Structure 1
Amino acid sequence: MSGPDEPQWELLPDRPEDFFGLEGEYDVLDLKRKYNSFIRKFKPEKFPEEFQKIRAAYESLNDALRYGEPLPSSQNLQFDWSGESEQPDTELRAEFSGSPDTEPAHAPLNEASGRTQKTSLPERLKTESIQSLYEELQQQASKSPFDYYALAVFSDLLPETKGNFAGWILEGLKVHQEESGLFELLKQYFSQEIPLKQLASLLLKTSRIVNSDRFYYLTEKGWDRLIRHAPFKVFRKTLTNCEANLRDHRVDNLLVFYLHILKPGIWKASQKWIDQIFSEIDAHYEELPYWLEREYYLLDLLRQYRQQRETFLQESAIRATIDRAIRNYSLLPESEADLSFLECQLLLVSYEDDLLTEFPKLDKELLNLRILWELIADDVYERVEVYVEFGESEHRESQIQKLADQLFHENYGKRFQNITEIASTSYVLLFLSSVISIFYLIYRMFSSFWMSLLYIVLIALANFLFFVLAALASNWLRDRYYRAGWRFEIMRFFQTCWLPLDEVADELEALNGTMKDDVEYEELDEIANLMRLDPGLFIYITAQRLLHASH
């Protein structure tokens, strides 16, 4: 394979910590940063096999960290062989790979075969049929964890018992409740595409046997599939029935599970159920792990967006594109959701001026959307970002200086500057005339005190009203020029500069009040504020940055 520098693939799947370079004290966020750095290099569309290995290692380690479980290891899948053999279970899997029809004919255990009970099962498979061994193990009164594992594999190979793999693993867990090998096998089984009817039944059976706080960790992948592909009433009924069987589960595991399942649940569940789950989380918010606070904030914004969604859409192609990206981010697997989000950015960039026209101003609904969009974009950006060279600091400053000149000295900026100069002159003339009038009235006050005082109050009030109206007119004119010209110039600037919007706005604000060519920059701070409150501009700039980062 040609591509990025090779990681230490030999460390997978047994040593995911070492593979990701994690040591000492680390948490979910540290793992995510390491994972993102790997998949930026090994993108799923270019390196599908490598990506799957990295993703599987991340998921196993991430699940263990979130639920406070022992870290995954190949030792978790080792069984007590009860002195039967020293061979690893991988050899047994290889022996099982043949079809039952190709196995040797069944021979009596103690006569024709001449074997003793101490002969290992892999050895017996070479001369005896799977059917006979399955029946023997099934009738055996006392079974080891390995016996249940063997029965599970045999049941999948025999036509009349096919599909009973999980049933035998559950039977084993009923007897050997602390057996980590059986537990991990069942967890991996839940990661498969189990038929939905069978999945709901299996979840319920599992809750009767594994009825502690470990149930959520064990079955999370199964719930993911159920909520995404089954009718919501099936998911809700199954979850309610399962939770009725649980005993002694910890609140923090419950919170981890609910926050995980809410991401697709917000789009599939009833509003009543969503509000109920949020109420449960809010009641225990202080017990929420710190690394889940951002996830909670994102989910709360998704809930608000869902409530405002019908009003937001308004039969607009641009808004439908944004809505589709938000839904796909919540419902699709991570790599597919990232790809969908990037495809959305291509469409948004193509809209250009129409995008700015679609969102002419910021209101409360769009403020929530802007924050939600920013959180999603940041999450995707962390996974798709390659090294992006924004240039030296001096080069960036010169670019922003050029933008400031363009905004202040050209086109609408020049007009606005002339108007503000005329307004400033009128302020001075009005102030001087008012001062002269007041001094004259004070001089006349000795002959007509109350009348002079009334004139002074009226002049002061007229000045106050004039300044208020002038400020309102200035704000109106600034907003009008921003909508008509400045925002389009800023948009063009971001077609070749991929800095974050807030960073450029801060730089413009810092230039306000500075001098160049004997001219003082004015109103740049107000333009910067208008940029920060412009949802259409923010969405366009975000799209440009994401596309540039992902090539």
Structure 2
Amino acid sequence: MSGAPPDPDWDKLPHNPEAFFGLSGDYDRKELKRRYNRLLRQFKPEKHPDEFRRIRSAYEQLDNRLRYGAPLSRLQPEQERYTWNIPDGAGRPDSPDGDPSDKAEPRQVARPAPKPLHERLKTESPEAIFAEVKAVADKQPYHFYALAVLSDGLEQSVPQGFVKWILRGLKSFPHDVALLQLLRSYIRHIPPDEQVAGLLTAVSQVIRDERFYSLTEPLWDRLLQQAPFSRFRAVLARCEENVVDYQVIRKLTFYIHILKRAMWSADDDWTDEKFDFLEQHYQEIPGVLDYDVEVLLHLREYQRLRGEFRSGHPLRALVDKTIETCCTSDDVDADRAFLDCQVRLTAAGRDVLDAFPAGDNSEALNTFTALWLLMNYEYGDRLAASEDALHTLNIFPVLMEIEAKTDRSSLGRMWNFSMRAYGIWTVLIYGLIFLTLYVPAHALFGENDGPVFLALLGCVAVAGIGGWTFNRYIGRRLWANWCRRTAEKCYHNIWRVELQQVMSRTFVPYRDLIHMIYNPRRKQVRLTCESWIPAFVGNDPGLAIYSSAQRYLI
């Protein structure tokens, strides 16, 4: 037996998330998500909330970097060790009143090394240090950091005092990676809900280039959750007026992310406008976002048909609500909602087959099924068992049992009777054609053996050709339609239910079930259901949805 997986190296966070996830070289989002999902199985949010938050923050940092195509403000190793020192007497002259004697004969005076800010606070008044640093004329990035930290305790009446000093520093040093990293951390973890809109506007006035989109993305998610869409739209329009220097690829990345959440509350005009923007620049969308774009397009098509889809079975309302929750909530709530939905679908059993009938080729159901299976691909990686680890079985005994149950049913008895009736009916058709020709011929030639024998051969030939032609173009077509309708009834009432129960007992995946039905390991016998089930099972969304739901119970 294998032991528990080793704990990750928490010391790598927050400055080296790649090493924390064990990534190196040119990794992609798929590899990042695989490592992330592996850790989530070990540190589930409901059991390890603090560890989960750290893992999630590291994941978002790297995912943000990969999606936007460039690091936001990654600290290099030497910057990770940087100490924010406030030099003693910062901003003050070295000698009082500019003593000329000191200028004429400078003396080598040993001065003590400047103390870090946290050591000065042990012996000096925070108010005095704050006033001293605030008075410095030529402030450097560490001055703004010191003012931001001190303002938290000294300027409590000033809303967002910390971030305002950080923004002032970025206005003077717009590319300072340390200040950017501080702003990024603040944005992701600290602002109260009521200050989000104001903070977005303030950031847009300082960060006026493409970095604005990647930096503020988490705030837009929060604003969508807490405010009416009209307020979100107004704040976004105001901020985009301030952002004047950007590459279109960054804006595309932002809208591909935000539309997934916004389209559930946005008005149609705004949604159409943003999708038009994506379509106009479709060739510029980076390949790393192909999956996100595919999900977004499926969601838009689903929303168009949403009313038609959820008006059916009550289970449809359940999955519809789950899709909306997964798109509009944070990851923890989305995972919980999706998992709960799958558990309820598994418990529903045959109701799933009723809610998603086989052979229903309506656009609404087809659109939902494609979207739902796509979502299962994403959520299944971290919440469900691998299909490769599930059980397999020999399908032929199952088919034999299905055949036996069919024969015992009223549908099966009717089908067996109709098969015998079809054979008798075919013989009668041939006989009727023969008699129709032979009786007049016999009356015409009387007892003349030669002509009668030739007439008999002619009647047999014409009856054979005529019967074959009738059977091929009329009889078989009528019989084939009858058999298909009967087989369809058998599939809906008997075969489908039996296959669902087999799935329930064995957890065999839907795709494996289809493969086994098409390639049964059978004896030298041909079953009626074996000939017909493949015609229906491959177009059965109910079995596909039930099978995918079972994975989450293992």
| TM superposition score normalised by structure 2 | 0.82
1:79 CA displacement:
5.5
Matches within 5 A, 1:119-158: 120-158=116-154
Matches within 5 A, 1:277-296: 277-296=274-293
| 2:368 counterpart residue number | 369
The residue identity in structure 1 corresponding to 2:494 is: G
Residue 519 of structure 1 is aligned with which of 510, 525, 533? 525
- 1:385/1:462 CA distance change after superposition, 3 Å: closer
- 1:298/1:427 CA distance change after superposition, 3 Å: farther
Is the CA contact (8 Å cut-off) linking 2:83 and 2:116 kept in structure 1? Answer: no
Is 1:545 aligned with 2:551?
yes
1:316 CA displacement:
4.7
Residue 497 of structure 1 is aligned with which of 503, 506, 517? 506
- 1:515/1:55 CA distance change after superposition, 3 Å: closer
1:20, 1:427 → 2: CA distance? 73
1:492 CA displacement:
0.7
The residue identity in structure 1 corresponding to 2:376 is: A
1:391, 1:505 → 2: CA distance? 15
- 1:245/1:492 CA distance change after superposition, 3 Å: same
1:177 CA displacement:
1.1
Is the CA contact (8 Å cut-off) linking 1:360 and 1:534 kept in structure 2? Answer: yes
Cα deviation 1:338-393 (Å, max 9, x = unaligned)? 1111111222223222332233342221111111111112211100235678567x
| 2:102 counterpart residue number | none
- 1:390/1:140 CA distance change after superposition, 3 Å: closer
1:522 CA displacement:
4.5
1:4, 1:335 → 2: CA distance? 22
The residue identity in structure 2 corresponding to 1:405 is: M
Matches within 5 A, 1:239-318: 239-314=236-311, 316-318=313-315
| 2:398 counterpart residue number | 403
The residue identity in structure 2 corresponding to 1:60 is: Q
1:309 CA displacement:
2.2
Cα deviation 1:51-98 (Å, max 9, x = unaligned)? 22222221111111211233744756666857839xxxxxxxxxxxxx
1:32 CA displacement:
0.7
- 1:199/1:252 CA distance change after superposition, 3 Å: same
2:203, 2:67 → 1: CA distance? 21
Matches within 5 A, 1:200-219: 200-219=197-216
1:151 CA displacement:
1.0
- 1:425/1:84 CA distance change after superposition, 3 Å: farther
- 1:315/1:525 CA distance change after superposition, 3 Å: closer
1:424 CA displacement:
6.8
Is the CA contact (8 Å cut-off) linking 1:501 and 1:532 kept in structure 2? Answer: no
Residue 488 of structure 1 is aligned with which of 469, 483, 497? 497
Matches within 5 A, 1:44-443: 44-70=45-71, 72-73=74-75, 75=77, 81=84, 84=87, 120-158=116-154, 159-192=156-189, 194-314=191-311, 316-361=313-358, 362=360, 363-386=362-385, 390=389, 396-398=392-394, 400-411=395-406, 415=412, 418=416, 421-422=419-420, 425=423, 429=427
The residue identity in structure 1 corresponding to 2:416 is: N
Is the CA contact (8 Å cut-off) linking 1:227 and 1:235 kept in structure 2? Answer: yes
Is the CA contact (8 Å cut-off) linking 2:75 and 2:178 kept in structure 1? Answer: no
Is 1:17 aligned with 2:18?
yes
- 1:434/1:69 CA distance change after superposition, 3 Å: farther
1:23 CA displacement:
1.7
Runs of 5+ consecutive residues of structure 1 not aligned to the other structure:
86-109, 447-451
1:229 CA displacement:
1.4
1:188 CA displacement:
1.3
SS at match of 2:189: coil
The residue identity in structure 2 corresponding to 1:540 is: Y
Is the CA contact (8 Å cut-off) linking 1:506 and 1:528 kept in structure 2? Answer: no
Runs of 5+ consecutive residues of structure 2 not aligned to the other structure:
89-95, 97-110, 441-450, 456-460
Is the CA contact (8 Å cut-off) linking 1:43 and 1:51 kept in structure 2? Answer: yes
1:301, 1:424 → 2: CA distance? 47
SS at match of 1:530: helix
- 1:135/1:505 CA distance change after superposition, 3 Å: same
2:389, 2:65 → 1: CA distance? 38
1:10 CA displacement:
2.9
SS at match of 2:25: coil
1:420, 1:37 → 2: CA distance? 57
1:202 CA displacement:
1.8
In percent, how many aligned pairs have the same letter? Answer: 33
Is the CA contact (8 Å cut-off) linking 1:404 and 1:524 kept in structure 2? Answer: yes
Q: How many residues align?
A: 508
The residue identity in structure 2 corresponding to 1:271 is: D
1:296, 1:431 → 2: CA distance? 61
1:147, 1:192 → 2: CA distance? 23
| 1:88 counterpart residue number | none
- 1:134/1:357 CA distance change after superposition, 3 Å: same
1:438, 1:24 → 2: CA distance? 86
Cα deviation 1:139-197 (Å, max 9, x = unaligned)? 32111101111111112112233521111111111100110011111111111353445
The residue identity in structure 2 corresponding to 1:49 is: D
- 1:539/1:391 CA distance change after superposition, 3 Å: closer
1:419, 1:488 → 2: CA distance? 24
1:120 CA displacement:
4.5
- 1:423/1:192 CA distance change after superposition, 3 Å: farther
- 1:507/1:177 CA distance change after superposition, 3 Å: same
> Highest CA radius of gyration, 1 or 2?
2
1:311, 1:387 → 2: CA distance? 33
The residue identity in structure 2 corresponding to 1:39 is: L
Cα deviation 1:511-541 (Å, max 9, x = unaligned)? 3xx862x421445364234223223332222
| 1:105 counterpart residue number | none
The residue identity in structure 1 corresponding to 2:504 is: Q
Is the CA contact (8 Å cut-off) linking 1:325 and 1:340 kept in structure 2? Answer: yes
| TM superposition score normalised by structure 1 | 0.82
1:413, 1:330 → 2: CA distance? 48
The residue identity in structure 1 corresponding to 2:35 is: K
- 1:429/1:245 CA distance change after superposition, 3 Å: farther
Cα deviation 1:297-351 (Å, max 9, x = unaligned)? 2122222222222222227532221122111111221122111111112222232
Is the CA contact (8 Å cut-off) linking 1:77 and 1:184 kept in structure 2? Answer: no
